[in-house]
Amino acid sequence: MATIINIPEAKAIQVNNLEFTYNGAPEPSLIDITMPIAKNSVTALIGPSGCGKTTLLRAFNRMHDLYPGHTYNKGEILFEGRNIIDPKEDLINLRIKIGMIFQKPTAFPMSIFDNVAYGLRLQGTKNKTELNDRVEKALKDAAIWKETADRLKDDANGLSGGQQQRLCIARAIAVEPDVLLFDEPTSALDPISTQGIERLVTELKEKMTIIIVTHNMQQAARVSDYTGFMYLGELIELGKTEEMFVTPKERLTNEYITGKFG
Amino acid sequence: MTMLFDKIFAHSTRIIAITVLLVVAAIFTILFQESLLSIQSNGFAFLSDTKWAPNLEKFGALPSIMGSIISTFLAMILAIPVAIGVAIFLSEIAYERLKAPIGISIELLAAIPSVVYGMWGLFYFVPIVRDIFGGMGIGMLTAGIVLSIMILPFMAAVTRDAMNTTPDILKESAYALGATKWNVVKDVIIPYAKAGIIGSLILALGRAIGETMAVTFVMGNVHKISMDITQPATSIPVTLANEFTEADSDLYYSSLFELALILLVISFVIIAVAKSYFLRRTRRTS
Amino acid sequence: MTETQKRVLISKIVMVLSTLSALIGLAFLFWILYVLVTNGIDAINWDIFLYEGAPPGYAESGLKQALIGQLILVGVASLIGVPLGVLGGTYLSEYGQRSRLAETIRDISDIMMSAPSIVIGAFVYAVVVTPMGHFSGWAGVIALTIIMVPIILRTTDDMLHLVPGTLREAAFALGAPKYKVIIQVVYRGAKAGVLTGILLGVARVGGETAPLLFTSFNDNFMSTDLMEPMASLTVTMFNYATSPYEDWQQLGWAAAFILSMFILALNIIGRLIIMKKGK
C-alpha cells in the first residue's frame, strides 16, 4: 500500500494506524495513518485540499479537542514515549511542548512584547529580567528583533502581515517547544515575507522538530527534509524530500507532483 | 415617461428618508418649546430642587432624576456580571447543540414587551422583596431588580454577539500556547471584543434609563429621595407615565415636558456615545 | 501547586461561575415565561373575545375592545410605517449610499431605535392631542409610526445592501431604469430580509405601552373611530394589572399572554423566513 521509508534519525513522534472522524461526518478524515517524524528535521505534508494534511497536523497538539464530537477512532500518536491521544493526556502541557503557527498571522490584541511574553507568563515566569531576556531572544531567533526592538510597547496589530507572522513564530518559540507545527504559514503572505518565513523554518530545525503543512509543492521542496503525500485521508507516501520529488515510488504521488490533479 | 417615474421614485425615497431627520428635530424643538414655561419659571432650581408639589405649583425634578440614575445604576450593577456570564457561557462553554436553543430563547425573551416584565414584577417580585425587607415591597430596589431582569436578555445577546466576532483562529492560537478557557476569554476574547462589549453595555444603559413600563408598576411614584432603597421612589419615566394625564395646570405640564426633554437628551447622548464611539458600523464599500 | 494547575483551577472556577450566572439569568427569564403562560391560560376563555370591558364584579367582561383597538392601532401604524420605512431604507442603500446625508440619517435612526418611547408619547401629545383637544386613536397611530419607521428603515437599508452590486450592474447593463432595477432586482433579492425586518418592526411596536398612555389613552368600550380614544392591549393591561380587583387582574394576565404570544409568533416567523432563505 503506502510507501513509508525508514528514517535513520531519532523519532520525535511516531503515528501508528491513526483514524480520525469529524463530528457528524459519515467517513473518517484520516485513515490508518502510520508515520514517523524525524527529530530536528522538517517534515512537510502535501496533498490536494481535503486530503487530511491539516487534520493530521491538528491532531498532534489535539486542537480538534476544542470542538466537541470529533473522535480519534483508533491508533496512537507516540510522543515522549506515551500515547498523546489518550483521553487522560494533559492538553495544556502537551500544547506547551508542541507549538503551532496558523494560516494567518494571529497577533493577540496586545503589545508586541506582551504577545511574545504571553506563553511565558502563562507558565508563571514573572521575573522582569528573565522575561525581557527571553522575549529578546525569541524575537532575535524569529528574525524580527531589528524591526521591533524600539517599539516593543506598540500594538502588535500595527505590524505588517509578514512581521506579524514572524511575531507569532517568536511567541511560539519563546516557550521553547520540542515540536513546532506550521499550518500553511505563508498562505496569507507576499513572496518576500514568504521567503523570510521559509528561511526561518530551516534555521529553527536545529532546536526543534518541525512539521509543516503546505499547499505549495515548491515550498515543501525548499524547506523540508522529509515529505509526506496525503490523498483522501491516507498517507500515500513518505520519503526523503529530494528523492520523492525526483523519483516518487507511488503512481499517485507522481501524478500529483507533475500537476495531473489537485 | 420612464424617466419621469424614475425621478419621482428617487425623490420620494429621499424625502421620506429626510423626514426621519425632520421628525427627530421636531421632537427636540417641540419638547423644548413645551418646556419653556417651566424653564423660565422653575429655572435651574428645577434640577436641584427636591420638592415636587403640583398643588403648590412647586416643581423640583431632583427626585425623578436621582431615581432614574439610581434605578439604572442598580440595574446595571446587577445585570452586567450576569450578562457577561451568560455571554461567556453561550460563546465558550455551552455544548454546540445547546448554543442555538439557549441563544434563541434569550433573544426571544428580549422581544417580550417590557410591560409584561413590569406586571410580573408587581405580582411575583414585590411580595418577595416585602417579605425580605419589610415595607411595601415597592420601591427603588424592586425597580432596579426588575429593570435588570428586563435588560438582561438584550444585554446578554449583544455581548455574546460582540464576543463571537473574535476569530476562531485567534482563540486557537492561545490554546496552542497552553492557555486555559479563562485565559482565552480574559486575554484574547475580551481585549479583542472590548469596544463591542463596552458599546453593548452602554447601549443597554441607554435603553434602561428610558424604560418606562418595567419600572412604573413597582417604583411607587413617590417624589422623595431616600437613602433607603427599599422605600418607594420615582424616576423620570415613572413620573411621566403616572402624572401626564393628571396634570391640571400649564406649569405642571411644562414641568413634565421638561422632564421628558431631560430624559431624551440623556438617553440620546448615551446611545450616541455607544453607537458612534464603540459600535461603529463596519460596512464594505460597494 | 504548579502554575499550570493553578491556571486550570482558576479557569474551572470562572467557568462554573459563568455557567451559574447563565443558569440564574435563564431561571429568572423562564420564571417570567412560566408565570405568563400559566396565568394567561388560566385567564383565557371565550368571553374575552366576546365582551367589552365591564366594571369589576361583572361576569360578562372581556378584552374585545382592547383586542380590536390593538389591531387597529398596530395595523394602521404598519400601513403607514412599513412603506415609509422601506422607501426611506431604499434611499439610504440605493441613492444616498455613503453620502453625508445618508450616514446622518443612519446614525439618527440607530439612536431613535433605542430612544425612550415615552418621550415620543409626550411629543405626540403636544402636536396631536393638545390641538385636537382630546386623546385619539390617530395620536396613538402616529406615536407608533414614529417608533416603527427608523427600525424598518435601517433593516431595509442593511438588507438591500446585502444584494450583490453585480446583480444591479447586470440589470443596468440591460438598459433598465434605476427604479425598475430596484423594484425588480434589488427588492426581489432582499425580499426575505426586508420581510423579516418588517415583522420585527411590527412586533417591536406591538408591545409598546408607554407612548400610548397619553395618546390613544384607553376606552372600556368598543370603538373603531380613530378620532376618539382607543383601547389597546398594552394600556388595558397596565390599567387592569394595577387595579385592586382580582377579575381585572385576571384580564390583565390574559392580555399579557395574548400580546406576548402574538409578538413571539411574529419574531419566530421572521426568523424562519430568514433561515429558509439561508438554506
Rounded CA-CA distance C93/B242 in Å is 41
User: Which residues in C lie closer than 8 A to residue B95 (C-beta atoms)?
Assistant: none
Answer yes or no: do A123 and B174 touch at CB < 8 A.
Answer: no
The confidence score (pLDDT) of residue B62 equals 96
- Give the max Cα distance, chain C: 77
Q: Is C31 on the interface with B (CB under 8 A)?
A: yes
Residues 95-114 of C with CB under 8 A from B: 95-98, 101-102, 104-112, 114
Contact residues on chain A for C5, CB-CB shorter than 8 A: none
Q: Would you place residue B227 in the very low, low, confident or very high pLDDT band (cuts 50, 70, 90)?
A: confident
- Read off the pLDDT of each residue in A148-166 and give the average, rounded to a whole number: 94
Q: What is the ipTM of this complex?
A: 0.93
Determine whether the interchain pair C8/A124 forms a contact, defined as Cβ–Cβ distance below 8 Å: no
Indicate if C115 and C188 belong to the same structural domain.
Answer: yes
**Per the domain annotation, does A230 fall within a domain?**
yes
- In this structure, is residue A172 part of a structural domain? no
Residue A49 pLDDT more than 80? yes
Phi and psi, residue B210, nearest 5°: -95, 0
Lowest mean pLDDT among A4-8, A35-39, C105-109: A4-8
Judged by a CB distance cut-off of 8 A, whether residue C5 touches chain A is: no
C272 at interface of B, judged by CB pairs closer than 8 A: no
Mutate which: C4, C5, C7, C11, vs A, most A CBs within 10 A: C4
CB contact under 8 A, B181 and C104: no
Q: Closest-CA residue in chain A for B192? A: A109
- Report whether pLDDT(C208) > 50: yes
At B266, is the pLDDT very low, low, confident or very high (cuts 50, 70, 90)?
Answer: very high
Determine the Cα–Cα distance for residues A10 and A38; give it in Å rounded to an integer.
6
Q: Quick check: A167 and A157 in contact, CB under 8 A?
A: no
pLDDT at C129 over 60: yes
CA dihedral sign of residues B128, B132, B134, B140: negative
C7 touching A, CB under 8 A? yes
CB pairs under 8 A between B and C: 272
Chain C: closest CA distance from residue B17 (Å): 4
pLDDT at residue C278, as a whole number: 62
- Beta strand pairing call for B58-59 and A226-231: unpaired
Is pLDDT above 70 for A150? yes
Q: How far apart are CA A194 and CA B196, in angstroms?
A: 34
Total residues belonging to chain C: 279
> What average pLDDT score do residues B160-185 get?
95
Instruction: Please answer yes or no on whether B16 and C84 come within 8 Å at the CB atom.
Output: yes
Provide the pLDDT confidence category of residue A1 given band limits of 50, 70 and 90: low
What range defines the domain where residue A213 resides? 3-106+178-257
Average pLDDT of B79-97? 92
> How do beta strands B52-53 and B58-59 pair?
antiparallel
Which chains are adjacent to chain B, needing at least 3 Cβ pairs under 8 Å? A, C
Does A68 reach chain B within 8 Å, measured CB to CB? yes
pLDDT, chain A, mean? 94
pLDDT band, residue B281 (cuts 50/70/90): low
Of the listed ranges A99-103, B24-28, B153-157, C22-26, the least confidently predicted one is C22-26
Task: Give yes or no for A123 touching B (CB within 8 A).
Answer: yes
Partner-chain contact A93 C8, CB within 8 Å: no
Is A133 a domain residue? no
Chain B nearest-CA distance from A92, in A, is 4
| pLDDT-derived band at A2, boundaries 50, 70, 90 | confident
Residue range B173-186: mean pLDDT, rounded: 96
Q: What is the pLDDT at residue C56? A: 86
Whether B43 shows a pLDDT value over 70: the answer reads yes
Q: Same domain, yes or no, for C235 and C147?
A: yes
Chain B residues whose CB is inside 8 A of the C181 CB are none
The length of chain B in residues reads 286
**pLDDT at position A262:** 60
Query: At residue A250, what are phi and psi to the nearest 5 degrees?
Result: -100, 145
Q: What is the mean pLDDT of chain B?
A: 93
What's the number of domains chain C is made of? 2
Q: Please, what is the average pLDDT of chain C?
A: 93
Lowest mean pLDDT among A66-75, A243-252, B273-282: B273-282
**Predicted TM-score (pTM) of this structure:** 0.90
pLDDT-derived band at B284, boundaries 50, 70, 90: very low
pLDDT of residue C55: 85
Residues B251-265: pLDDT tens digits?
A: 999 999 999 999 999
Give the mutation candidate from B30, B99, B107, B115 for the C interface (greatest C CB count, under 10 A).
Answer: B115
Q: Cβ of B53 under 8 Å from any chain C Cβ?
A: no
**C37 and C145, same structural domain?**
no
- How far is the C-alpha of A109 from the C-alpha of B63, rounded, in Å? 44
pLDDT category at A111 given cuts 50, 70, 90 is very high
- For residue C224, the distance in angstroms to the closest alpha carbon of chain B comes to 22
| Cα separations in angstroms, B92 against A99, B96, B183 | 22, 9, 12
Q: Is A17 on the interface with C (CB under 8 A)?
A: no
Sign of the alpha-carbon dihedral angle for A129, A134, A140, A144: negative
Asked if residue C35 and residue C119 are part of one domain, the reply reads: no
Is A81 part of any domain?
A: yes
CB contact under 8 A, B111 and C259: no
CB–CB contact C7 A92 (8 Å): yes
Size of the A and C interface in Cβ pairs below 8 Å:
13
Q: Name subunits touching C (3+ CB pairs < 8 A).
A: A, B
Tell me whether A66 touches chain B (CB under 8 Å). Answer: yes
DSSP characters over C174-238 = TT--HHHIIIIIIHHHTHHHHHHHHHHHHHHHHT--HHHHTTT---SS----TTS----HHHHHH
Q: Is residue A147 a part of any domain in this protein? A: no
Residue of A nearest to C7 (CA): A122
Is any Cβ of chain A less than 8 angstroms from the Cβ of C12? no
The answer on pLDDT for B286 being more than 50 is no
**What do you get for the CA distance between the two ends of chain A, in Å?**
21
Interchain proximity C3–A124, CB inside 8 Å: yes
Judged by a CB distance cut-off of 8 A, whether residue A187 touches chain B is no
DSSP state of C125: I
Q: How many CB atoms lie within 10 A of CB A209?
A: 25
C253 touches chain B (CB under 8 A): yes
Facing B113 at nearest CB: one of C21, C153, C207:
C207
CA–CA min distance B85, chain C (Å):
4
pLDDT at C115: 92
Instruction: For residue C279, name the pLDDT band (cuts at 50, 70, 90).
Output: low
- Classify strands A82-83 and A98-101 as parallel, antiparallel or unpaired: unpaired
**A127 CB within 8 Å of a chain C CB:** no
Residue C37 pLDDT > 50: yes
pLDDT above 70: percentage of residues in chain B: 98
- Domains, chain B, in order of start with CATH, read 48-278 (1.10.3720.10)
Length of chain A: 262
Cβ <8 Å between C7 and A122:
yes
Sign of CA dihedral A142, A145, A147, A152: positive
- Is the CB of C4 inside 8 Å of chain A's CB atoms? yes
Contacts with A123 from chain C: Cβ below 8 Å: 3-4
| pLDDT band with cut points at 50, 70 and 90 for residue B285 | very low
Q: Which chains touch A (3 or more CB pairs under 8 A)?
A: B, C
Chain C residues 179-198 with a CB less than 8 Å from chain B: 179-180, 182
Does residue A90 sit at the B interface (CB-CB below 8 Å)? no
Summarised one tens digit per residue, pLDDT across range B127-142 is: 999 999 988 899 999 9
Q: What CATH number corresponds to the domain at position A79?
A: 3.40.50.300
Is the residue at A182 inside a domain?
A: yes
C2: which chain A residues are within 8 Å (Cβ-Cβ)? 124
Q: What are C213's three cell numbers?
A: 398612555
| A171: in domain | no
Q: Which residues of chain B does A63 touch, with a Cβ-Cβ cutoff of 8 Å?
A: 172, 175-176
Q: Give the integer Cα–Cα distance in Å for A118 and B146.
A: 42
Is A245 part of a structural domain of the chain? yes
Mean pLDDT of C237-263: 94
Quote the pLDDT of residue B282. 57
pLDDT score at B283: 47
Give B119's pLDDT tier (boundaries 50, 70, 90).
very high
Same domain, C120 and C226: yes
Using a CB–CB cutoff of 8 Å, tell me whether A93 touches chain C. yes
Contacts by residues A111-115 (CB-CB < 8 Å, ≥ 24 positions apart): A111/A152, A111/A153, A111/A154, A111/A155, A111/A156, A112/A148, A112/A151, A112/A152, A112/A153, A112/A154, A112/A155, A112/A156, A112/A159, A112/A167, A113/A152, A113/A153, A114/A156, A115/A156, A115/A167, A115/A168, A115/A170, A115/A171
C56 and C18: one domain? Answer: no
Given pLDDT bands bounded at 50, 70 and 90, which one contains residue C232?
very high
**From CA B188, how far away is CA C17, in angstroms rounded?**
19
β-strand pairing of A30-38 with A11-21: antiparallel
Q: Which stretch of B11-15, B28-32, B72-76, C167-171 has the lowest confidence by average pLDDT?
A: C167-171
Instruction: Tell me: do C151 and C188 sit in the same domain.
Output: yes
Task: Tell me which chain B residues have a C-beta less than 8 angstroms from the C-beta of C105.
Answer: 17-18, 20-21
Same domain, C22 and C135: no
Query: Cβ of A93 and C4 within 8 Å?
Result: yes
B281 contacts in chain C (CB < 8 Å) = 106
Q: C276 vs B34, which has greater pLDDT?
A: B34
Domain count, chain A: 1
Query: By residue range, what is the domain housing residue C178?
Result: 50-278
